[in-house]
Amino acid sequence: MSEITLFYAKFVLLIGVYALLGLLIRALIKDIPMPSKTSEPLASPVSSLPSPDSSGWWLSVLQGQERLEGRDLELREELLLGRAPECRVVVNDPFASARHARLVPRGAGVWLEDLGSTNGTFLGAEAVQGGVLLNEGGRFSIGDVTFELVRRGNA
């Protein structure tokens, strides 16, 4: 190879390297609109619409999960909270365990039971040990999601 081709060869290489970076950045930009993969948090939102004459306990999300906020859920029977899809309330929080806690309505109150979750269910700053009976307005949190128990209707 002559001196002059050698001189230009280095520019060819630099152009090649930058073309490559361009390709990689283009592939990176294509990915930028991140697909939102949040699954529907409530298993059956239709049944959760409050009907005026129903009585009993309702679960509402105070903060932490936009998709659940304002969509109260009636506690007719035992209700499972956790990250697993089979839970009635799917808590999409990194600190939630698959089967995190359960709620059982018991007339005068609601029994909250921690199902051996890794990070605990909290009443304020205190972790629930085993189970606890909550009254109206009782608040508990799983991860960064805070729930409140509300009593509605005329029961």
Partner 1 sequence: MKRRELGLLAAVLAVVGLALALASRAPEFKGGAPWGWFTAQVAAWLGIALALRLKRIQGDPLLMPLACLLSGMGWVMVWRLNPDLGERQAIWILVGLLAYAITALTIRDYRNLEHYKYVCLVCGVVLQVSVMLFGTEINGARLWFRVGSFQFQPVEVVKILMILFLAAFLRRYGRWMRIGLLSREGRLPRRALMLLGVGWLAAEGVLILQKDLGMALLFMGIFLTMFYMATGRTDLVVVAGFLFVIGAVGGLLAFPHVRIRVYAWLDPFADSQNTGYQMSQALFSLAWGGLFGTGLGMGEPTRVPEAATDFAFVALAEELGFLGAVAILVAFMLLVTRAFRVAMRARCEFGTLLAGGLAVLIAWQSLILIAGTIKLIPMTGITLPFVSYGGSSMLASFVMLALLRRISSQEEGPC
Give the residues lining the site for partner 1 (CB under 8 A): 1, 6-7, 9-14, 16-18, 20-21, 23-25, 27-28, 31, 34, 37, 83-85, 94-95, 118-119, 125-126
SS3 45: helix
Shortest spacing between CB 153 and partner 1, in angstroms: 36
CB 25 → partner 1: shortest distance, Å? 7
Taking the C-alpha atoms of residue 73 and residue 90, their distance in angstroms, rounded to an integer, is: 12
Q: What is the smallest separation between the CB atom of 16 and partner 1, expressed in angstroms?
A: 5
**Pair 61, 69: CB distance under 8 Å:** yes
Structure tokens at 75: 């506690």
**By C-beta, is 85 or 116 nearer to partner 1?**
85
CB closer to partner 1 out of 37 and 52: 37
Give whichever of 45 and 85 is closer to partner 1, judged by the CB atom: 85
- Other CB atoms within 10 Å distance of the CB of residue 135: 10
Report in angstroms the alpha-carbon separations of 118 from 81, 94, 114, 134, 139: 14, 11, 10, 22, 20
To partner 1, the closest distance from the beta carbon of 147 in angstroms equals 18
